[in-house]
Chain A
Amino acid sequence: MVFDKLLKYENFQFEIDKRAVYSLLGYRKGETTISKEMATLLENSFKEAIELVDTKGVYIVRRIKEKKNGISLFNSEIVLRGKSMEKLLYGSFGVIFMAVTIGPELERKISEDMENGSFERAIVFDVIGSETVEAVANSFNSYLLIQARQIKNSLTRRFSPGYGDLPLEFQREIYRELSLSRLGIEINEKNILFPYKTITAIIGIER
């Protein structure tokens, strides 16, 4: 675990949970029946989507300086406030800020499909995209866990802005901390990231 250095991680090994994709699309085992054509569409979409995915991850590890009036960090202006952060980082001496994305190509394809009226494929791609970024985040998470275990530390669970009392606005701070513009990620005035299929998160490091 290297502190205060922005690190990249690219060689993701992950598997998309097809079951989850089907279920997000509304498939219910034993109830839903689908045609051969539809099954083929889905299978092809899985294959195509994987080709369009360009996974990238970046993270930085900061040491916690103080835990009063919010949690302050060494070498960073970020202060983590609120009950959620307090609870998550209760036993932590360090914090990992992480982000993963699957790149803009899949979303570009989705817009294209929308314009061409292939709504059905767009929605399938969209759901696959969501599952993929989740899978990638999990794979990234385990990679970080490996790093931590090596120095006999452990990690808290992953926590993303928009959950608990950590506002979605906090994405902007992570965005700056991780220089996400360098990964080609954009953020708009409402603190929404593009590509959408990007996850930012905070993880605590415990001894």
Chain B
Amino acid sequence: MISDKLKERVLILDGAMGTEIIRRAGKSFNFPEILNLEAKDLILEIHRDYIEAGADIIETNSFGANRIKLSEYGAESRVEELNIAAVEIAKEARKGKEVLIAGSMGPVGKLINPLGELSESDVYKTYAEQAEALEKGGADLLLIETQIDILEAKIALIASKESTSLPVAVSISYPLEGGRTVTGSDPETASIAFSSTDADVFGLNCGGAPEDFEEFIGKILLHSSKPLIAYANAGVPEKKDDRVFYPLGPEEYAKHAWKFYELGASIIGGCCGTTPSHIRLISERLRGRKPLKKKEERHFFSASSRNSSLIVGNSFPFRIIGENVNPFGRKKLNQELKEGKLELVREYARRQEKAGADALDINLGKKGESSPEFFSSAIRELQSTTKLPLFLDNSNLTSLELALLSYAGKAVINSVNGERNSYESFFPLANKYGASVILLAMDEEGIPEKAKDRVRIIERLYKMALDFGLHEEDILADPVVLTISTSQQNAIETLKAIEMIKSIGIHTVVGLSNLSFGLPRRKLLNSSFLPMAMERGLDSAILNPLDENLCSVIKACDAILARDRGMRFYIEKFGKELEIEVEEKRDFKSNAPEDELFYAIIEGEEKKAEELTKVLIKKGENGFDILEKILSPALKKVGEYYEKKIYFLPQLILSAEAMEKASKVLAPFLGTEGKAKRKLKIVIATVKGDLHDIGKNIASLVLRNYGYEVLDLGKNTGAEEIVKTACSQKADFIGVSSLMTTTMDEIEKVVKLRDSMAPEIKVVVGGAAVTPSFAREIGADAYCKDAMDAIRKIEKLSGESK
């Protein structure tokens, strides 16, 4: 009925009920549905005003009249009574006029497991009960509205369809900046999720600003061929003198409504804050107009999860469907699944998502086939593990149905083949849940050897799928990859089949890894086959996303075959990869070990530095000369590089480590000259309570290699221990650091203790929380910004700056 009308003209939906009750009654009600019994006239008057203003559809006052919501007021047993009363009032209001009554069904107010505590069947029963009551009362259609979770909305739709014979409209609310539902679905994703369900109308209401609706409508229509319903709030609510009000008046709102119409909406009305005056103006402007929505040609395949979508098609990049959640050939996973555990499954899912998979194939082996509860609980858990759309790789009808019921979005059934019991059970299932399918080139007689026979099966299945009510965008075809180890013709036939299927206009997928089964260097074979298949038109494959080389090949082929427009993804991946200038090894002519050692320190090559020092010692070089003429100048150079920012911190550290290795080799050969010159001694520590010592360790390393004798007392060291050690060891310096403000008082303790016990020892301080002024205040001798700064300050303090 409604769809016939929509062919003729745009339908006007009424405006707000809730805010209108508040406006007229002068107060708000926690439980507005009770007014259907207690203040019938108020509701009747609102309906009448909207009809008089020109509404073609009025919504019953039953938004929260579901069992779960009503239980908050102890009214859970009154579902039928309140809904029927709601419809009765609407019927009375429309007497003698041609107006449709939409039974309003809002969210139940709680989320479904694992986001919340409700089970899918709780939600199903709740909506079924309300829908039945609304139908019994005499509603003409059902409006599942202001939905914040696409799974709840989907279950509501299925429940309504199965328990009534009414047309059903589904409307989602995107309340946020950035345009996502509370549970994270954007309009495009939500639209895909409902594109192939049997909702009669799909759209959006409530939520953000009406101007956002304009953008969202475009996105929804990319994927939805259903009549679009749009009714926004009268602007974003503002607060004035403790009262919330909606800023847009009838004229301003009507302009937005006109825009909704121009963009392709066919049922237009108002949500919170709109009044009969708003609706009157909309009706005046839109009455009698034909819907502008054109039939979009969609030549792509789609699937979605709650938070992301998958589009497969000629002009889109090749899609990677992760194959790793499959116990075949994976012992550990197999074992885990046998034990009923899902840890590895979740880990594999996460890893594949990180590696860049676009969707995941989920095959839980025998356990998944034989235990529907296990499979569906895995699918439920995976939806909170990964945001990627899932391919349900299972051939047990019950497993699939349970999983589909708990799946938020448009899942993919993998797969349907040419056997009668396969297509007769799976196509209706896909249809009921709005899922996509993979058609497999196989029938009762197995997988045909020749490409043309495989294509014949696919063609037959494709036609049947359309007859069962599926659409082009719900179908992928798999011409089957077989291993070339049994027959070398296999790959050639698959390539031919891909090309033939593509020429009919069906999108393709294959399970890639089978190709190399039983052969060495499997990855090589897989990554060589894929470009050939892509050139023939392959759109996607189930493969291992952790194979980096394979994924790089895919990116390259996408660029070459113009699937990657403007080569955006190719350049993103390989182009700017953080514009870090990488320099080749410094080019120096001399092969003399002296020069090489010098550069080994600068380049931070520990092993080389160690080896070359040994070589020089063997050659009879004087240890002290090596230190003074090669190592120290090299490290000094590194220090200069660091100061000039030519080097950054990790390089400074690497050089200091190389220096350390070389010094160790040198130590026994330093002889009397080395010892003659007394090294300055420094006691270094991180103060009590502070467990973070990275900075201190670096300072300690660098100081050691600049020729200081460093006594490192580690972290969490008491003031007394620090100062006492410094005294007993006759140290020249104490270096202390603290990361946090709460431990800075410990630094002060160290300084005070030094003042009383050993005023001749200098204290230098540093660490994230420490500032120069703090250092001055407590009477420290110097503040050091970092390790190099410490060297400078200590040299200065000891009056022997070089």
- Chain A interfacial positions (CB closer than 8 Å to B): 11, 13, 18-19, 22, 25-36, 38-39, 41-42, 50, 110, 114, 117, 119-124, 126, 145-147, 149-150, 152, 162, 167-169, 188-192, 194, 196, 207
A205 to B: closest C-beta gap in Å: 14
The DSSP consensus for interface residues of chain B is loop
Which B residues lie within 8 Å of A22 (CB)? Answer: 578, 580, 648
B657 touches A119 (CB 8 A): yes
Known contacts: A11-B384, A189-B689. The answer to whether A120 contacts B645 by CB under 8 A is no
A128 to B: closest C-beta gap in Å: 12
B747 to A: closest C-beta gap in Å: 12
A192 touches B697 (CB 8 A): no
CA distance A121 to B651 in the complex (A): 10
B654 an interface residue at 8 Å Cβ cutoff? yes
B579 touches A25 (CB 8 A): no
Which B residues lie within 8 Å of A196 (CB)? Answer: 691-692, 739
Rank and list the top 4 A-B pairs by shortest CB-CB distance, nearest first: A190-B689, A26-B648, A31-B645, A33-B583
Which B residues lie within 8 Å of A30 (CB)? Answer: 581
Which B residues lie within 8 Å of A19 (CB)? Answer: 578
B247 to A: closest C-beta gap in Å: 13
Central interface residue in B177, B385, B690, B692, by most chain A CB within 10 Å: B692
Query: What string of 1s and 0s marks CB contacts (under 8 Å) between B370-405 and chain A?
Result: 000000000000001101000000000000000000
- Write the chain A residue with the least CB distance to B351: A51
B657 touches A32 (CB 8 A): no
A121 to B: closest C-beta gap in Å: 8
A188 touches B694 (CB 8 A): no
Known contacts: A120-B650, A122-B694, A192-B690. The answer to whether A34 contacts B583 by CB under 8 A is yes
B649 touches A13 (CB 8 A): no
- Write the chain A residue with the least CB distance to B647: A32
CA distance A162 to B698 in the complex (A): 25
CA distance A29 to B578 in the complex (A): 10
Number of interface residues of B (CB under 8 A): 53
B583 touches A35 (CB 8 A): yes
CA distance A105 to B28 in the complex (A): 52
- Write the chain B residue with the least CB distance to A121: B650
B578 touches A18 (CB 8 A): yes
Which B residues lie within 8 Å of A26 (CB)? Answer: 642, 645, 647-649
A32 touches B690 (CB 8 A): no
A149 touches B649 (CB 8 A): no
B100 to A: closest C-beta gap in Å: 30
CA distance A194 to B689 in the complex (A): 11
CA distance A35 to B647 in the complex (A): 10
- Write the chain B residue with the least CB distance to A31: B645
Known contacts: A34-B582, A147-B182. The answer to whether A25 contacts B689 by CB under 8 A is no
B580 touches A27 (CB 8 A): yes
A143 to B: closest C-beta gap in Å: 9
A60 to B: closest C-beta gap in Å: 18
Query: What string of 1s and 0s marks CB contacts (under 8 Å) between B283-310 and chain A?
Result: 0000000000000000000000000000
B741 an interface residue at 8 Å Cβ cutoff? yes
Central interface residue in A13, A26, A28, A122, by most chain B CB within 10 Å: A26
Known contacts: A31-B646, A150-B175. The answer to whether A190 contacts B743 by CB under 8 A is yes
A146 touches B697 (CB 8 A): no
Known contacts: A26-B642, A207-B239. The answer to whether A192 contacts B657 by CB under 8 A is no
Central interface residue in A13, A146, A190, by most chain B CB within 10 Å: A190
B156 an interface residue at 8 Å Cβ cutoff? no
Which B residues lie within 8 Å of A167 (CB)? Answer: 741-742
Which B residues lie within 8 Å of A32 (CB)? Answer: 581, 645-648
A192 touches B691 (CB 8 A): yes
CA distance A31 to B691 in the complex (A): 34
CA distance A124 to B652 in the complex (A): 12
B180 an interface residue at 8 Å Cβ cutoff? yes
B740 an interface residue at 8 Å Cβ cutoff? yes
Known contacts: A19-B578, A146-B182. The answer to whether A36 contacts B584 by CB under 8 A is yes
Which A residues lie within 8 Å of B697 (CB)? Answer: 114, 119, 122
Query: What string of 1s and 0s marks CB contacts (under 8 Å) between B507-545 and chain A?
Result: 000000000000000000000000000000000000000
A84 to B: closest C-beta gap in Å: 14
Of A41, A149, A189, which is within 8 A of B176 by CB? A149
B237 an interface residue at 8 Å Cβ cutoff? yes
- Write the chain A residue with the least CB distance to B745: A190
Which B residues lie within 8 Å of A145 (CB)? Answer: 176
CA distance A33 to B384 in the complex (A): 42
CA distance A76 to B363 in the complex (A): 48
B474 to A: closest C-beta gap in Å: 28
Given A35-B582, A42-B580, 9 more pairs with CB closer than 8 A: A26-B648, A32-B645, A114-B693, A120-B651, A123-B649, A145-B176, A192-B690, A192-B692, A196-B739
A-B contact pairs, 16 of them (CB 8 A): A25-B650, A26-B649, A33-B582, A34-B582, A34-B651, A35-B603, A38-B651, A120-B650, A120-B653, A123-B694, A149-B175, A167-B741, A169-B742, A188-B689, A192-B689, A192-B740
B354 an interface residue at 8 Å Cβ cutoff? yes
A25 touches B648 (CB 8 A): yes
B802 to A: closest C-beta gap in Å: 23
CA distance A30 to B237 in the complex (A): 49
A126 touches B694 (CB 8 A): yes
- Write the chain A residue with the least CB distance to B644: A31
A13 touches B387 (CB 8 A): yes
Of A11, A39, A169, A191, which is within 8 A of B582 by CB? A39
B237 touches A152 (CB 8 A): yes
Which residues of chain B from 623 to 680 have a CB within 8 Å of any chain A CB?
642, 644-651, 653-654, 656-657, 660
